[in-house]
Structure 1
Amino acid sequence: MSREIRILMHTHWDREWYFTKDETKVLLRNHMQEVMAFLEENPNTIYILDGQSVMIDDYLELEPEGKPRLKKLIEKGSLRVGPWYTQTDLLLVHGESIFRNLYYGIKRAEEFGEPMLVGYAPDTFGHASQMPQIYKQFGIDSTFFWRGFSELKAQKSDFLWKGIDGSEVVGVNLATGYQGAKYLELEPDELRKRMNKIMPVLDNYSASSARLIMNGHDQMPIQKNIYQVMENMKQIYPEDQVMLSDFESYVDALNKDKLEVVTGELIDSKHARIHRTIGSTRMDIKLLNTEIENNLYNVLEPLAMIGEEAGIAYPHGVIEKVSKILFGTHAHDSIGGCNSDKVNQDIKQRLLNAKEMVDTQIELHLRLMALGNKESSETIVLVNPLPEKRVDQLVNLEMLTRTRGFRIFDEDNQELEYSIITQEQEDAGLIDRQVAARLQDIRVYRTKIVLPISEIEGLSARYLTYEEVDETKQITASTTEKCISNEFGKLFVDSNILCYKSKKTQDVYTNILSIENSGDAGDSYDYSPPYNDWILNSENCGEMTVNVVEEEHYKKMTIDWLMRVPENQLQREKKKAERDVNFNVTLSLYPGDPKVYVTLNHENKTKDNRYRAVFKTNVTTDQVKVDSYMSNQLKPVYNEKALNIWKEDEWAEKPVSIETTQSFITLKDKDSAFTVYTNGLKEYEVLNDAIHLTLFRTFSHLGQRDLINRPGRPSGIEIKTPDNQLLDEPFIFEFTFEIAHTHEEESHVAKDYLTPLVAYQLKEFNRFNINSRSTVEKTKSHLSLNLNGLVVSSSRLTNKKERFIRLFNPHYKDITVALPETAFTATAMEERLEEIKTITLAPQEIGNIIILH
């Protein structure tokens, strides 16, 4: 059979790893100069710029005069860019980040020519089961990747990948890697030896006569002698065609009707390492990233949409800037945390900068909206960021007043009750420098409260008022009881163990939440147990100091949970636990809510350790329900098929049963269910009837060799990374758990949990002064959709100032939703399609709509 040997010229461009993004920017300028010169001299050449448009921006930042030359080559098709903005991780970041990464990547590429609409993700550590649908929504019909494939999925490396909703794209596993034909030898004998290694692999796995030869590597310069190499290759394979090619031509050579169908995630680690436990590396960075994503997608964007109605210009520039900072940290190495200390420091600083921008824009928007209430300067603005009406909600609000006491009133001047969480007195001069400049001595009270809200329409604002009063409202004194309860259950401490009793079933969950400490002999890519591990649990190595507060609108139990653990691996090997560590745990119950809310504060004091929160669920099952990108799925608790063969088949790493979720984990049997909702903690393992949620891990090196779960060479390089021990790093972990009392789908509950109502008091003292705007008025409009079980992923304004909403259906039946007048289906690029009165989404389907004002 005559083969088509298709050589694809490319470079794989990690912006940062054990080198910094600033180093690679300088290198990229040199690289682009060489590539463009070669393409101009050889006009029939095709070169792939790693599928990420950020390389355009990085190059032009240092050589802006190169834009016309670059544009000409992209327009001609010699240089292929997009569809990604950056080469993102495809399991750990927010689903909206995946959509926006493609949106901005394609948008930027379109400014120069035709984008490369291929889902190129060469080095990503696994692929979510929703990716086929996401690709299809952007007009992408194929994906090329290296990691995540095994023969448990298909016999051939060319296949049809069916997503969780049924969408199909062509999947091509790069059987010899994206680097398989790097630096091809010119000398004929050496070239023959090299090709004799490559071609048998491709002959075995390719589903057609086409053979994809990936001529590129990490930061590899363009191979200028490629045409001479091709001539020698033609002598080696006289019966075959040898040509330069692109991804699209390779797909066209496949007979799609004869391809195997693959379903589910692509996370098998037979041929390449997947690093299934990278989800707990550098949790300080990952938690910071999640906080920014939640504030950007769940708060700022819908808030800004409401603000536009009030006369506040939508901050497109701020949102794009923050998004691109985020995407710069979402590359698989970057968000994975498998970098040098210097690079991780830079990533964290960029995220802190993005957080400042998001937080400041949110506060500014709320402040301007509050100024829209011309009737009173004592204003509280209350915002619902979801496009559905919400009832019987509790909102957290921070008040700053001159008096200890204050009263809050609704729009009809009816007083609203509230409960105080904390109250502290402080110097107003530390808040507002004008106070200090005038040598004024003003003391104010900062009070955090819980405020019940009976109802609020979707994507709307309410305007409350307040007055300062001399009367005081005290927090209820702590009781001597070690329990709190609401109508759903009772949380209590018994013999130094946290327990819960369901009022509905009378079942008692003994040791319902505990902290586990174990050793970690791994590196920045993988957790690995030490050869001599010693696992400890707070149940038998901890002491509790318990305090309880019972207010009308919340019940709170605070536990200082002292554990004695090994300080390092040497102590662990000697079975010595000589280091006291403290977890300050706050557990809260609210009326009308079956969930137990947990905030866990901890400052790390140990090395080479892993900490996990353990939930004793009383549910034993072989399946776990979790969410992925705008979908949910059932996964096996134990990865049996792969674990039965991995040693015999010499997999690159052990396919451990530690998995990734986005925001919830559910165990169910015929009688009961238990769900954990997480805010940034995404790595879990189910052992027997217990959910183990990784809090964080600490270790010493970027890469190590011969780990228990990963035999052989080190991943990355063996350099010391002492920052990865996270010594003295403060953590705040947030999650909630629920013993099933409702029939609400978990995705909706998770969205509600991660998108609370937002409230803001117009304060007398502020860090910055702003002028009042006559153009800002109270917003009176709203958008309350009856979603019937659909879940909102995003609400924002397009560049054309149209309201864009992304929905998904997490159920296993079709759901139809009625829409207001002047509603349209929309593309993922936020362009209108056909006008509609209703939208119907199939199970796990994502829908985009535009609703005009």
Structure 2
Amino acid sequence: MYHIISHTHWDREWFAPADITKKMLPSLFQKLFELIDNNPEYKFVLDGQMLLVKDYLSNFQGEERKKAEDKLKKYSKNIAFGPYYGQIDWRVSEESSIRNIILGGQEAKKYGNVMNIGWLLDNFGFSSQVPQINFKSEIEGCFLWRGLNMKIPKIGFTWSSPDGSKIHGIFLLDSYRNIMRLKDYPEVMEKRLELEINKLKKYSKTNYLPLLNGYDLDPVPEDPTDGELKAVFPDEFIQGYFKQEDPSLIEKYVGELIDGSVVSTFPGSLSTRQYLKIMNWHSEYMLSKVLEPLIAIVDNSEDDKEIQKAWEYLIMNLVHDSIGGVGVDQIHEDMEERYNKIKEIFESTLNKVLDKVGQILPLGYVCLNLNLQELPVLFENKENLYRFSAPAGSISKVNLKKYNVNSSEKPINSFHWENEHFKAFVENGKLRIKKENNDYLIRAVLVEDKGDEYSSAFDKELNLTFSEMRLKAQSDNYSKIALDFTSNEVDFTLNLTFSELPYINIEIDSLGKGSDYGLLLALIGDGDINAGVPFDSVKRPYEVKYEEPEEEMKKFLVAAREISFNNVFPMKDYVGLEKDDYFAAFMAKGIYSYTTHSTNSLEKAVSLILLRSVSWLSRENVKGRIGDAGPVMYTPGAEVKRKMKIEAAFCLSDKDNFLKYKNSFINPPLLFYKHRNNSDSENQPVVVHKFYSSVDENIEFVNMKPSIDEEGISLRFFNPSHKKKKIKLTQKSIKTDLLENELEEFDGTIKPKEILTLKIPKLSFNTFSDDEGSKVNIVYPKFTWDISEDLSKPNIGIINNMEREAKDLKEHIKDLEKKIKETQGINRYELLFEKYKLMRKALELELSSLYNRSKIEHVDPSKIEHIIVELNDVRIKRRGIEFLLATLR
């Protein structure tokens, strides 16, 4: 008896928007309910995400919706719900990865059968703390496919985070679709199953082999169970497997899983449609670092539903295909609408919360700094420069120093700056920074990109003209200059701000004009690469060389994969070079990847990928990748022809103090101003409230929010170091897991690399009744992104070419259909496979042309929907007959 897992992998937004894919779900569920009625032992996995259920229910209203919900509850013992809200990109998500589990669990509990296994079939790789996040959320195992560096075939593995948290894992050795649509061809069903079992059983001593019956967007589930196959849920599978398996057959992995040599992790998707990444970063920051802490401080729970809605929008957009930018333009336009809704919720809720915040603030300038470091802050506002120091973990009055700034637009040929941290020289569009024996060069680089939405393929350096340098503002301790660049592909300005701080602000104002390029900001110098990633920092090589897989693995290479080498890697917030006691690093808001690609063989460079412009969802024969990545569809929106502001900085400091300066840039204190005419603030307190402190400053604040049970406040920290640290709180606190289940009284210790969640009582403040009626506003920082509307227009020549090619393919298909009628045996199936392959390509081209025509003229939406349904059906049939042929051969 072997075990089978039936499922559907639901890419709700990919070549079709969610508004269309959700219409496929009623028939899927109806078929699923019929299968359960016919076989009460049948079991089915809803792709590990509750968005599938939410989309299904969105087809109904009123009483019909209630009936649909009741039916889900009726069949719940046969259906695995959750554990996630959406199938997010774990390389990008930080606090949102925790909310994904919390919201997913809350939705799943409505139906009664919550899966406690991470169902991670198609996510594009994983950050190092995924085991800890899942383990601390009562998820102790996972099924996954991408990211493992596997030399020889293995099914079982254990996966540990840097803190020691460990989960069990099943690698889907022969993909998540190896016995999909088994009943479509009953003449080979038994043989196909036998071959698959024999293929896998060599790698396990158990009868728990990863046999998965399901496919992408497959709306027709089937029940292939019989005397030889038993349906199981993933948790049953993992328990049985690890109880029986020979330990020598179980692999061990630690840290991030981003290897693409067996199955692609599509590193280029981290820089596709850069505008989405910036919106995502700001959205997560506004919710987790600004709005929720303020709501927790003033105990304002009346906006809970609105905040939850904002998180739901954010997680919808974090689904790996969506935030990866690997879909048609219409999908990413829907994402922009969601990001704008998040911003609207933030702004409206913030205005209400500030009224309550005003009641606990004294008059004048007051800052909220939830970081565990006292932070220096310097900012420009109108014609003045302001400087203050923000005490750690507190609400405090601040002594705001004001400096006059002389503004100008004066052309200059060179620029020099020196402070106690470094010397800087700017000439010919390049920035050189020196400190003792350390010498760094920063320059903008424009390179050709022959890739697609999935994969970057950086090549030769393109012509980039440095136009001029301008002095924009100056004072005794501050200067701002602008470097203007132009090219056929993109125009941009680097705005560099120098001060007494050890970092240089770099604002990039860009306007995309062309396509098929990458804009990089290169840091050239010596040192070891260290990159920030969600809840961690990792050391990385300059490139990873991919050797050809062993013969034993080759029979399992069934999808696109990276070949030769990889020099594009994930990051979050910073990446830099460590040398001796110094760290030279780029810090950036909303850039999630860097590259070590260099057009000069003598230079070793670590470069932020500021933006990447491509024209196609997927291309054939992309350098560095082999295999089919996705539909061949024209996507002019991915050319990023927009005005866009990117916020970055360069920091050079000793390693022990880097976190302080990183937080000063990435998570700056909030500066409030409370004003009322004829008021005297002399007798008001300097420190309004102290939340917590630490002897060792190298601990990161993550989030503060009202606790789920609304009886207290939830606090989250992270220890990025390899040493145990201490946190001192002013109130008694309880340690909880990430779901906020109480564990024990907090002893003040945070372990190395630990994500720590605490529950504290609600806060009590003195109110300043004499200030009633005074206004409070946030002076610094600003909460927004600066991105224009899409300025791209579809190329009518490309549309016409796609339509001609689709027409030619259909003629070829007609000829094939005649041959198919005259052919028997395996040759007939081979011709059928060729037919479906051509049909898929023709429909992709036809759909792509309609999508793009709809931007310039009216197109009947029902025509688009019809082609989507037909294309989805052909994709499934093509894959099914591919398995049939493999069996017959």
Q: Residue 624 of structure 2 corresponds to which residue in structure 1?
A: 709
Q: CA deviation at 1:160?
A: 1.2
Q: Flag the 1:206–1:720 CA change in 2: closer, same or farther, 3 A.
A: farther
Q: 1:458 aligns with which of 381, 393, 396?
A: 393
Asked whether 1:691 is paired with 2:606, we answer yes
Matches within 5 A, 1:620-699: 620-621=527-528, 624-640=529-545, 642=547, 652-654=561-563, 655-670=565-580, 672-686=582-596, 688-699=603-614
| Distance verdict in 2 for CA 1:107–1:778, change over 3 Å | farther
Secondary structure of the structure 1 residue equivalent to 2:514: coil
SS of the aligned residue for 1:65 comes to: helix
Partner of residue 484 from structure 1, selected from 392, 417, 421: 417
Match of 2:89 in 1: 89
Q: 1:831 aligns with which of 733, 738, 741?
A: 741
Give the Å deviation of 1:329. Answer: 0.8
Amino acid of the structure 2 residue aligned with 1:47: F
> Aligned residue for 1:403?
none
Partner of 2:295: 304
Aligned to 2:689: 781
- Residue in 2 that maps onto 1:612: 520
Give the corresponding residue for 1:170. Answer: 168
| Distance across 1 between alignment mates of 2:695 and 2:30 | 53
State the identity %: 23
CA deviation after TM superposition for structure 1 residue 174, in Å: 1.0
**Which of 28, 43, 61 lines up with 1:46 in the alignment?**
43
Q: Could you tell me how far 1:138 is from its partner in structure 2? A: 0.9
The one-letter code of the counterpart of 1:484 is W
How many residues are treated as equivalent by the alignment? 732
For 1:197 and 1:527, locate their aligned partners in 2 and report how far apart those are by CA, in whole Å: 37
* TM-fit CA distance, 1:744: 2.3
- State the Cα distance separating 1:371 from its structure 2 match: 6.3
Compared CA separation, residues 564 and 721, structure 1 to 2 (3 A): closer
Query: 1:366 corresponds to which letter in structure 2?
Result: L
Alignment of 1:316-715 (within 5 A): 316-370=304-358, 382-386=366-370, 388=372, 390=374, 392-394=376-378, 396=379, 421-423=381-383, 449-456=384-391, 458-460=393-395, 462=397, 475=406, 482-502=415-435, 505=436, 508-509=439-440, 512-529=441-458, 533-536=459-462, 541-552=465-476, 554-559=478-483, 561-565=484-488, 567=489, 581-591=490-500, 593-616=501-524, 618-621=525-528, 624-640=529-545, 642=547, 652-654=561-563, 655-670=565-580, 672-686=582-596, 688-713=603-628, 715=629
Rate the CA distance shift 1:136–1:633 in 2: closer, same or farther, 3 A.
Answer: same
1:235-266 superposed Cα distances (whole Å, 9 cap, x missing partner) = xxxxxx42111111211222464422122322
Contact persistence 2:692–2:730 (CA under 8 A): no
Q: Does 1:849 pair with 2:762?
A: no
- Deviation by residue 1:681-732 (Cα, 9 ceiling, x = unmatched): 121123553211101111111111111112343x2111111111122x0111
CA gap 1:74/1:838 in 2 versus in 1, 3 angstroms: farther
Given the alignment of the two structures, is residue 731 of structure 1 paired with residue 631 of structure 2, yes or no? Answer: no
Structure 2 Cα separation of the partners of residues 669 and 393 of structure 1: 26
Structure 2 gaps, min length 5: 677-684, 763-889
Q: CA deviation at 1:543?
A: 3.1
Pair 151,832 (structure 1): closer, same or farther in 2 beyond 3 Å: closer
Q: 195, 201, 208: which one pairs with 1:210?
A: 208
SS at structure 2 position matched to 1:248: helix
- Answer 1 or 2: which has greater helix percent: 2
Deviation at 1:646, TM superposition (A): 12
Secondary structure of 1:822's aligned partner? coil
Distance 2:353 2:263 in 1: 47
Note closer, same or farther for the CA distance 1:749–1:313 as it changes in structure 2 (3 Å cut). same
Alignment of 1:126-137 (within 5 A): 126-137=125-136
- Contact kept? 2:90, 2:123, Cα under 8 Å: yes
The 3 A distance-change label for structure 1 pair 36 and 185 is: closer
Q: 1:393 to 1:207 in 2, by over 3 A?
A: farther
Partner of 1:743: 656
Conservation of the 8 A alpha-carbon contact between 1:367 and 1:762: no
Where does the alignment leave 5 or more consecutive residues of structure 1 unmatched? 235-240, 397-419, 424-448, 568-580, 765-776
User: Deviation digits for residues 310-336 of structure 1, max 9, x if unmatched?
Assistant: xx4463222211000011111111111
Q: Deviations over 1:201-251 (max 9, x none)?
A: 322444633112111112223444x2xx444xx5xxxxxx42111111211
Determine if contact 2:365/2:398 at 8 Å carries over to the other structure.
yes
Q: Partners in 1 of 2:133 and 2:45 — Cα distance?
A: 22
TM-score (norm 2): 0.77
TM-score (norm 1): 0.80
Native 8 Å contact 2:48 2:82 kept in 1: yes
**Residue in structure 1 matched with residue 80 of structure 2 by the alignment:** 80
Deviations 1:563-611 (A, max 9, x none): 334x4xxxxxxxxxxxxx43221111232x2111111111111111111
Q: 1:728-767: CA deviations, max 9, x gaps?
A: x011111111223352254x54334211122345699xxx
Partner of 1:353: helix, strand, or coil? helix
Q: Which residue of 1 aligns with 2:798?
A: none
Decide whether aligned partners of structure 1 residues 783 and 314 sit closer, same or farther in structure 2, where only a CA change above 3 A counts: farther
Structure 1: distance between partners of 2:267 and 2:328: 20
Matches within 5 A, 1:49-60: 49-60=46-57
CA distance in 2, matches of 1:187, 1:536: 53
Partner SS, residue 180 of structure 1: coil
Q: CA deviation at 1:142?
A: 0.7
Q: Secondary structure at the match of 1:598?
A: strand
Amino acid at match of 1:705: E
Cα-to-partner distance string for 1:61-107 (whole Å, 9 max, x where unaligned): 323223553453365x21110110011111123x1111110111012
Tell me which amino acid in the other structure corresponds to 2:293: P
**Corresponding residue of 2:822:** none
1:115-194 matches, within 5 Å, as 115-152=114-151, 155-185=153-183, 188-194=186-192
- Cα distance in 2 between the residues matched to 1:753 and 1:671: 21
Aligned mates of 1:323, 1:173 — CA distance in 2? 30
Match of 2:254 in 1: 263
Deviations 1:266-301, CA, capped at 9 Å, x for gaps: 222233221122111010111111111111111111
Corresponding position of 1:428: none
- Taking the TM superposition and a 5 Å limit, the aligned residue runs for 1:276-287 are 276-287=267-278
Letter in 1 for 2:662: A
State the Cα distance separating 1:482 from its structure 2 match: 2.3
Contact 1:83 1:102 in 2 (8 A): yes
Q: Distance in 1 between matches of 2:169 and 2:468?
A: 53
Counterpart in 2 of 1:250? 237
CA distance in 2, matches of 1:814, 1:66: 53
C-alpha distance in 2, partners of 1:743/1:779? 27
Query: What SS class does the counterpart of residue 740 from structure 1 fall into?
Result: strand
Q: One-letter code of the match for 1:17?
A: W
Kindly indicate whether residue 691 of structure 2 is the aligned counterpart of residue 790 of structure 1. Answer: no
| CA spacing shift, 1:173–1:607, aligned 2, 3 Å | same
Alpha-carbon distance in structure 2 between the residues aligned to 1:508 and 1:143: 45
Distance change in 2, residues 1:207/1:553 (3 Å): farther
